[in-house]
Chain A
Amino acid sequence: MIFLDHLINGLSLGSIYAIIALGYTMVYGIAKMLNFAHGDVIMVGAYIAFCGLQYWGLPPVVAFLVAMVFCTLLGVTIEGLAYRPLRQATSLAVLITAIGMSYLLQNIALMIWGANPKAFPTTFINDTSLHLGQLNISSATLITIMANVVIMVTLTLFTSRTKLGKAMRCVSEDRGAAELMGINVNRTISLTFAIGSALAAIAGVLLCSSYPILQPTTGSMPGIKAFTAAVFGGIGSIPGAMLGGVLLGVIEIFGKAYISTELGDAIVFAVLIVVLLVKPAGLLGKPMREKV
């Protein structure tokens, strides 16, 4: 019973990592860049949802949609202003810009909302729990796990069946060739950022519904863990991000529960190192052969 309890907690934590990791992996797969500001877009999404509910008196669903729209616009703006001019620059320059963007977002949040932590309202997801014998499963946990599955299936269908999705895969495969085939690369990358940032808003609300403390640094640690999850599952692969995220969450909780709470994070990263030693492209990643 205790084992099941830990497993469910692990799945819930892992599902949050997975949704965040999807954002990292999509952007990496298509734009070939690590968007380190992704974690902070999550934080902004959570703040907007918080404001919608607490200050503007919107119903939860509307507040949630406002947060999604805001994050989508924010993601597209960041891409257009900061990353697009660097399309031809070295990947290191883009990486540093992304880190700078992450700090910029954190500090703007600090200016607007202040440093005092805010308790995220539990009204987004009604705070009831399902009792199965001794097991208590909170509705936030259930919704998080379900949202994760729905998002993954939708994204997989989108990239494999729709025209825009196919365009994305083309850009991912070979940007130059895609351009020659008449695909608008810039618009495709913008679309990727839009989807990734909308996912960030969902992740923000889910993250803060499970762990209801909201401060300007809320997104950074989950962001790093989710990035790890994306690498773990094979960065660029959508099912890989999902698998990596869920596994990471479960390993973290089991590591804490059965080995030591002190070593929880160390265990997670040790597993990552082992996986990367054995399978450098990650669990579901495509091995890339570099021409020398």
Chain B
Amino acid sequence: MKKLIALALALVLALTVCTAFADEPITLKIAHIGPTTGAAALYGLATQHGAEIAVDEINAAGGKYRIELINEDDEHNVEKVINAYNAALDAGAQMILGSTTSKPCEAAGAKGYEDRVFFLTPSASSVNVIEDKDNVFQVCFTDPNQGSASAEYIAEHKLGTKIAVIFNNADVYSTGIRDTFVQKCPELGLEIVSEETFTDETTDFTVQVGKAQEAGAEIVFLPMYYTPASLILKTAAAKNYKPIFFGVDGMDGILDVEGFDKSLAEGVMLLTPFVATSEDEKVKSFVAAYQAKFNETPIQFAADAYDGIYILAAAAEKAGITAEMTAEEACDLLIAAILDLSYEGITGSMTWDESGAVTKTPMAATIVNGVYVFED
């Protein structure tokens, strides 16, 4: 009997200790930096919303960590991002999920390298974002990887051999992907028949599209964001030119442009690790939660940020980050932890190397009847 009472007491004690722990989860302060206004607002809002869903889930589950999300707007601007970064640190951020787009992320990451602040960017895919910075890691592919992966996908699925490339030569994202794509093509037996450029201010694409048509390209590769891509699709339709348009992750979002004629994008392919119509259970629950909260369908950027928050939480747990640690103290611990981490998220299973680049398999989706569908 005594033994039983002792056991019961021990149990009660253990339980109280447990609940004591569970009652006081460690608060992690994570700052999301991204363009929530300005030309790239669609991406910044998507990453912010995706991150919020992950934070809600983690906080509701009541695990070891409670996450406090600090949102800062960088307007897709290399000067403003430094203000956003400073504001985030002033608010007590211990690590940063961001920035969403490449150029601002490059600037903030370099500042973070000097200050020793850990960055995990959901979607800034330029190689310059991680180059020479041991503190910056990516959830998405780096641009070179997107370029060569696109070429491999085109060759493997025999989509065609004559390819035209139209790219923005004023943008690191666009040129980065174009460089590796063009480099990879010859060894796969793909021929570049036309290569034309444009800049951020270009509105007229009749020459670029006309040259691709004249050269008889079967595939037009579009390493760019969706705004110029939508003009190219319109121009091609007016010229009655119907090749396969193959885009990369920047093409994601084209269907959400208000007033866009979705039939123009019919048959457009894009390299993306995430499709909202997927049958995967984790994807389904994420999409449902996102739709319930924001009344729209998440794009890839949202999924990247959703994974990003979970990755940060997993890395923080592995590194034993506490609420009292500053960003500087946490930085090196997080770097060591993420290199050792392998994470299974809704955008694929990921591991990281010291460069900061992620390793995962590329997948391509096709736009059919106004929604993305996975090919295989």
Contact = CB atoms under 8 A, between A and B. Distances in A.
Real complex partners, A and B?
A: yes
Interface of A: 2, 5-6, 9, 13, 50, 54, 110, 114-122, 127, 129, 131, 136, 138, 140, 207, 210-213, 215, 217, 221-222, 252-253, 256-257, 261-262, 264-265
Nearest to A218: B203
Nearest to B35: A115
B37 interface: yes
Contacts of A114: 37, 41
A138 B209 CA distance: 15
A203 B56 CA distance: 48
A211 B239 CA distance: 14
B38 interface: yes
Given A2-B210, A5-B210, A261-B207, A115 B199 contact: no
B197 A120 contact: no
B204 interface: yes
A120 B258 CA distance: 9
B211 interface: yes
Nearest to B37: A115
B234 A9 contact: no
Interface centre among A2, A6, A13, A257 (most CB of B within 10 A): A257
Contacts of B234: 211-212
Contact of A262 (B39, B42, B169, B231): B169
Contacts of B259: 50, 54, 118-121
11 contacts: A6-B210, A9-B210, A110-B37, A116-B41, A117-B227, A213-B231, A221-B203, A253-B207, A261-B198, A261-B207, A265-B199
A228 to B, nearest CB: 13
B240 A262 contact: no
Contacts of B196: 261
Contacts of B238: 127, 129, 136, 138, 140
Contacts of B42: 116
Contacts of B207: 6, 9, 253, 256-257, 261, 264
Nearest to A252: B204
Interface centre among A117, A121, A136 (most CB of B within 10 A): A117
Contacts of A221: 201, 203
A211 B39 contact: no
B257 A116 contact: yes
Given A2-B214, A213-B230, 4 more contacts: A136-B238, A138-B238, A212-B231, A222-B203
Nearest to B238: A138
B329 interface: no
Contacts of A264: 207
A9 B231 CA distance: 15
Given A117-B227, A119-B261, A253 B204 contact: yes
Interface of B: 37-42, 169, 196-199, 201, 203-204, 206-208, 210-211, 214, 227, 230-231, 234, 238-240, 257-261
Contacts of B39: 115, 117, 215, 217
A253 B196 CA distance: 13
Given A136-B240, A213-B231, A9 B204 contact: yes
Given A136-B238, A222-B203, A115 B38 contact: yes
Contacts of A213: 203, 227, 230-231
A122 B261 contact: yes
Contacts of A119: 230, 257-261
Contact of B41 (A115, A122, A222): A115
A5 B241 CA distance: 14
A279 B149 CA distance: 54
A211 B206 CA distance: 10
B227 A211 contact: no
Contacts of A122: 261
B18 to A, nearest CB: 48
A88 B40 CA distance: 42
A136 B257 contact: no
Interface centre among B199, B207, B211 (most CB of A within 10 A): B207
A12 to B, nearest CB: 8
A119 B231 CA distance: 9
B335 to A, nearest CB: 34
Contact of B258 (A2, A116, A217, A262): A116
Contacts of A140: 238
Contacts of B201: 221, 265
A187 to B, nearest CB: 36
Contacts of A207: 203
CB-based closest 10 A-B pairs: A119-B260, A9-B206, A119-B259, A211-B203, A221-B201, A115-B41, A256-B207, A118-B258, A138-B238, A261-B196
Contacts of B40: 115
Contact of B211 (A118, A212, A257): A257
B310 to A, nearest CB: 28
Contacts of B210: 2, 5-6, 9, 257
A118 B257 contact: yes
B202 to A, nearest CB: 8
B239 A136 contact: yes
A5 B211 CA distance: 11
B259 to A, nearest CB: 4
Contacts of A262: 169, 197
